[in-house]
C-alpha cells in the first residue's frame, strides 16, 4: 500500500520522507510497482510539486539505482555542462573542446533527440567511425588521455531516472520543475562531476518556454546541486530562435567545426564564449571574466580547441579525414530555398517551427527507435532583427527527396516579417549561482 499512500500524500499536499521517495523509486525499478501506479504518482507530483528535500531524495534515489563514477579530484575538478535542450543547440560540440583545450577536464554524457529538439549523440553519429557507447572504464580512459569525453548516457548510471523518464515521456509529465531537476542532477552526481554549468533555455523551442518558469527551474537545479554537494551555476539562454544557422545532424557538426576553426557564427559564437567562460571559472574561481575570455579566444585562434576536438574524436574511433574535410560528412542531395515574400524586419524565427521542419525532412525522430537522416536539416540564413527584402533567401531546406512541402510550410510560418524595426533578443539573459 506504500505507493497508494505516496500518491495520496502528494495529492493532499503533504511532504514525503526521504525513505518513502527512495522506496518508491527502488520498488519501481525492481518491478514491484506497476507503470500505471508510478504514472499516477508522477502525474500528482507534476500537479502539486515537491519541495527541495523531496526533490533531493528523488535525485539520490535515482543515483542509488546504478553506479557512481569519480573522474576528478579536488585538485583537478571535472566540469560538466548540461543543456535543457533546444533547436540547433550544438554548444556541447564547441564548449567541451574549448574548455578542455584550456586545461580543464570535461566529461559530458549526452542524449539522443526526440521531437523537434536534437540530441548531441545523434549529431556526433553523423561522423563516420565515432563511437558514443562507452562503458565506465572507457570513459575513464578517454577522459585521462584526451582531457575530455563526450559519450552517450550509460545504462548503468542512474538507470532509475532512465526508466522513469520513459514513462514521463508518454504521460505528459516531463514538464515538471522538480522532476526535471531531480532527473538532470541525478545524472551529474552519477557521472562524478565536481562542477556543473547548466544551460537553461527559454523560448518556444525550449523544454520550458516561459522565461520565469525556466528561471525557476534554473534556481531549483542550482539549489538542489548545492544541497547535494555539487557546485552548479546556470545560464538562462535564448531559444526563441534556433541557435545559429544549422539545424540537423551533420549540418550542425559542420557549423561546430567552423566555430572551432575561428569562424564567427551569429547566435552560436556569443553563447558558447559565455558558456566557456563560466565553465572555466567554475573550475578556476579566481579567474576574472577578462582572463577567462582571453583564454577562450586564444584556444580558438591558436587552433588548440579544434585540435582538441579532433584528437578526442579520433580516440573514440572517428575518421579524422571527415572532420578535417567536412565535405566528406553526410550531406543531403537536394536543397529547397524559402524566400521572403515582402520587405521588412524579422520579428520571429520560431525555433519550434524550424525544429518541426527539420523533423519533417528526417533530421529528427518522432519515436525513440525511428531512423534519422544525418544529412538532412535546415540552414537558417536570417535572425531576429535582420532587415530583408522580398525574395531574400530566409532558409534552405536540405533533404533527400520526398514531399518537401510540409517542411516549406513550417519554415515559412516560422518567420514573421513586419515594417517596424526589431531589437534582437539577448543570447544570454541571466546567470544564476
Ligand atoms: N532532460 C533530462 O535529462 N531530464 C528531464 O527530465 C528533462 C530533460
pLDDT of 16: 97
Q: How far is the CA of 243 from the centre of ligand 1 (A)?
A: 19
CATH number at residue 33: 1.20.970.10
Flag whether pLDDT at 73 surpasses 90.
no
Interval 385-396: pLDDT, tens: 999 999 999 999
Q: Are 212 and 159 within one domain?
A: yes
The residue out of 289, 304, 324 marking a domain boundary is: 324
CATH number at residue 350: 3.90.1170.30
Q: How far is the CA of 108 from the centre of ligand 1 (A)?
A: 15
Cβ 364 vs Cβ 116: under 8 Å: yes
pLDDT of 85: 86
Catalytic residue among 80, 122, 161, 204: 161
Strand order in the sheet with 79-83: 148-152, 106-110, 79-83, 195-202, 231-238, 428-432
Cα(417)–Cα(135) distance, rounded to whole angstroms? 49
Q: What cell was used for 271?
A: 553563447
pLDDT of 374: 96
Active site residue 433: no
Q: How far is the CA of 315 from the centre of ligand 1 (A)?
A: 28
The residue out of 304, 324, 344 marking a domain boundary is: 324
Instruction: Provide the b/e sequence for 173-202 (b: ≥16 CB within 10 Å).
Output: bbebbbbbbbbbbbbbbbbbbbbbbbbbbb
Q: How far is the CA of 219 from the centre of ligand 1 (A)?
A: 15
Q: Are 249 and 296 within one domain?
A: yes
Q: State the ipTM, two decimals.
A: 0.97
Q: How far is the CA of 184 from the centre of ligand 1 (A)?
A: 5
Q: Which of 119, 185, 207 to mutate to test the pocket of ligand 1 (most atoms within 8 A of CB)?
A: 207
Strand order in the sheet with 246-247: 246-247, 377-380, 393-399, 334-339
Hey, whose CA ends up nearest to atom 2 of ligand 1? 184
Q: How far is the CA of 335 from the centre of ligand 1 (A)?
A: 34
pLDDT of 205: 92
Flag whether pLDDT at 253 surpasses 80.
yes
Domain contains 388: yes
Q: Is the CB of 209 under 6 A from ligand 1?
A: no
Domain contains 395: yes
Q: Are 402 and 351 within one domain?
A: yes
Flag whether pLDDT at 367 surpasses 80.
no
Domain contains 295: yes
Domain contains 236: yes
Average pLDDT of span 68-76:
79
Q: How far is the CA of 316 from the centre of ligand 1 (A)?
A: 26
Cα(125)–Cα(249) distance, rounded to whole angstroms? 8
Q: Are 96 and 39 within one domain?
A: no
Domain contains 9: yes
Hey, whose CA ends up nearest to atom 3 of ligand 1? 184
Average pLDDT, the chain: 94
Cα(275)–Cα(272) distance, rounded to whole angstroms? 5
Between residues 249 and 136, the one the model is more confident about: 249
Number of CB atoms found within 10 A of residue 385's CB? 16
Range of the domain at 34: 2-49
Domain contains 414: yes
Domain contains 163: yes
Active site residue 168: yes
Interval 139-154: pLDDT, tens: 889 999 999 999 988 8
Ligand 1 atom nearest the C-alpha of 179 is 6
Q: Is the CB of 183 under 6 A from ligand 1?
A: yes
Q: Are 221 and 363 within one domain?
A: no
Cα(286)–Cα(242) distance, rounded to whole angstroms? 33
Q: Is the CB of 184 under 6 A from ligand 1?
A: yes
Domain contains 6: yes
- Residue 121 to residues 40, 149, 359, 362, 370, Cα–Cα distance (Å): 31, 12, 16, 16, 14
Catalytic residue among 22, 23, 81, 82: 82
Hey, whose CA ends up nearest to atom 7 of ligand 1? 180
Instruction: Give 295's Cβ-side CA count (13 Å radius).
Output: 23
Interval 107-144: pLDDT, tens: 998 887 777 777 899 999 999 999 999 988 898 899 99
Catalytic residue among 108, 168, 352, 365: 168
Q: How far is the CA of 361 from the centre of ligand 1 (A)?
A: 25
Active site residue 161: yes
Cα(257)–Cα(268) distance, rounded to whole angstroms? 12
Helix H, strand E, coil C: the string for the chain is CHHHHHHHHHHCCCCCCHHHHHHHHHHHHCCCCCHHHHHHHHHHHHHHCCCHHHHHHHHHHHHHCCCCCCCCECCECCEEEEECCCCCCCHHHHHHHHHHHCCCCEEEEECCCECCECCHHHHHCCCCCCCCCCCHHHHHHHHHHHCEEEEECCCCCCHHHHHHHHHHHHCCCCCCHHHHHHHHHHHHHHHCCCEEEEEEEECCCCCCCCHHHHHHHHHHHHHHHHHCCCEEEEEEEECCCCCCCEECHHHHHHHHHHHHCCCCCCCCHHHHHHHHHHHHHHHCCCCCHHHHHHHHHHHHHCCHHHHHHHHHHHHCCCCHHHHHCHHHCCCCCEEEEEECCCCEEEEEECHHHHHHHHHHCCCCCCCCCCCCCCCCEEEECCCCCCEECCCCEEEEEEECCCCCHHHHHHHHHHEEEECCCCCCCCCEEEEEC
**Number of residues written out for the chain:** 433
pLDDT of 74: 73
Give CA torsion, residues 339, 344, 346, 350, to 10 deg. -50
Q: Are 237 and 384 within one domain?
A: no
Q: Are 354 and 253 within one domain?
A: no
Q: Are 350 and 309 within one domain?
A: no
Ligand 1 atom nearest the C-alpha of 161 is 4
Q: Are 307 and 351 within one domain?
A: no
Cβ 296 vs Cβ 100: under 8 Å: no
Hey, whose CA ends up nearest to atom 6 of ligand 1? 180
Cβ 235 vs Cβ 113: under 8 Å: no
CATH number at residue 150: 3.40.1030.10
pLDDT above 90 covers a percentage of the chain that reads: 85
Q: Are 129 and 199 within one domain?
A: yes
Active site residue 183: yes
Q: Which of 113, 180, 207, 214 to mutate to test the pocket of ligand 1 (most atoms within 8 A of CB)?
A: 180
Flag whether pLDDT at 1 surpasses 80.
no
Q: How many domains does the chain have?
A: 3
Catalytic residue among 83, 154, 183, 186: 183
The residue out of 27, 49, 71 marking a domain boundary is: 49
Hey, whose CA ends up nearest to atom 5 of ligand 1? 180
Q: Are 231 and 380 within one domain?
A: no
φ and ψ at 415, to 5 degrees? Answer: -90, 130
pLDDT of 11: 96
Q: Is the CB of 174 under 6 A from ligand 1?
A: yes
Q: Are 171 and 23 within one domain?
A: no
Q: What is the pTM of this model?
A: 0.93
pLDDT of 339: 98
Indicate the pLDDT class of residue 402, thresholds 50, 70 and 90: confident
Amino acid at each position: 500500500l506504500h505507493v497508494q499512500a505516496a500518491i495520496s500524500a502528494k495529492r493532499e499536499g503533504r511532504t514525503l520522507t526521504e525513505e518513502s521517495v527512495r522506496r518508491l523509486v527502488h520498488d519501481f525499478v525492481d518491478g514491484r510497482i506497476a507503470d500505471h501506479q508510478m504514472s499516477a504518482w508522477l502525474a500528482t507530483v507534476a500537479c502539486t510539486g515537491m519541495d527541495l528535500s523531496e526533490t533531493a531524495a528523488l535525485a539520490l534515489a535515482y543515483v542509488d539505482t546504478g553506479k557512481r563514477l569519480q573522474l576528478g579530484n579536488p585538485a583537478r575538478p571535472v566540469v560538466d555542462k548540461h543543456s535543457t535542450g533546444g533547436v540547433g543547440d550544438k554548444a556541447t560540440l564547441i564548449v567541451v573542446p574549448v574548455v578542455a583545450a584550456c586545461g580543464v577536464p570535461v566529461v559530458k554524457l549526452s542524449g539522443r533527440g526526440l521531437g523537434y529538439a536534437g540530441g548531441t549523440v545523434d549529431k556526433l553519429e553523423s561522423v563516420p567511425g565515432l563511437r558514443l557507447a562507452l562503458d565506465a572504464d572507457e570513459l575513464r580512459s578517454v577522459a585521462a588521455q584526451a582531457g575530455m569525453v563526450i559519450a552517450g548516457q550509460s545504462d548503468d548510471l542512474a538507470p532509475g531516472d532512465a526508466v522513469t523518464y520513459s514513462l514521463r515521456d508518454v504521460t505528459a509529465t516531463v514538464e515538471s520543475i522538480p522532476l526535471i531537476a531531480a532527473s538532470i542532477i541525478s545524472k551529474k552526481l552519477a557521472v562524478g562531476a565536481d562542477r556543473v554549468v547548466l544551460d537553461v533555455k527559454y523560448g518556444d523551442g525550449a523544454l520550458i518556454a516561459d522565461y520565469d518558469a525556466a528561471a525557476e527551474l534554473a534556481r531549483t537545479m542550482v539549489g538542489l546541486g548545492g544541497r547535494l554537494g555539487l557546485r552548479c551555476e546556470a545560464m538562462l539562454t535564448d531559444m526563441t530562435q534556433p541557435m545559429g544557422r544549422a539545424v540537423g545532424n551533420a549540418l550542425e557538426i559542420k557549423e561546430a567545426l567552423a566555430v572551432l576553426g575561428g569562424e564567427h557564427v551569429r547566435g552560436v559564437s556569443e553563447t558558447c564564449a559565455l558558456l566557456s567562460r563560466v565553465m572555466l571559472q567554475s573550475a578556476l574561481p579566481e579567474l576574472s571574466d577578462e582572463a577567462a575570455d582571453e583564454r577562450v579566444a586564444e584556444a580558438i585562434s591558436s587552433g588548440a580547441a579544434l585540435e582538441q576536438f579532433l584528437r578526442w574524436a579520433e580516440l573514440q574511433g572517428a575518421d579524422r579525414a571527415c572532420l578535417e574535410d567536412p565535405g566528406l560528412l553526410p550531406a543531403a542531395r537536394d536543397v529547397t530555398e524559402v524566400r521572403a515574400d515582402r520587405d521588412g524586419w524579422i520579428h520571429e524565427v520560431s525555433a519550434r517551427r524550424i525544429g518541426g521542419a527539420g523533423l519533417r525532412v528526417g533530421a529528427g525522430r518522432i519515436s525513440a527507435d525511428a531512423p534519422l537522416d544525418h544529412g538532412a536539416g535546415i540552414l537558417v540564413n536570417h535572425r531576429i532583427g535582420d532587415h530583408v527584402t522580398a525574395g531574400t533567401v530566409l532558409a534552405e531546406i536540405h533533404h533527400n527527396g520526398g514531399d518537401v512541402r510540409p517542411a516549406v510550410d513550417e519554415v515559412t510560418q516560422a518567420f514573421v516579417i513586419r515594417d517596424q524595426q526589431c531589437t534582437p533578443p539577448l543570447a544570454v539573459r541571466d546567470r544564476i549561482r
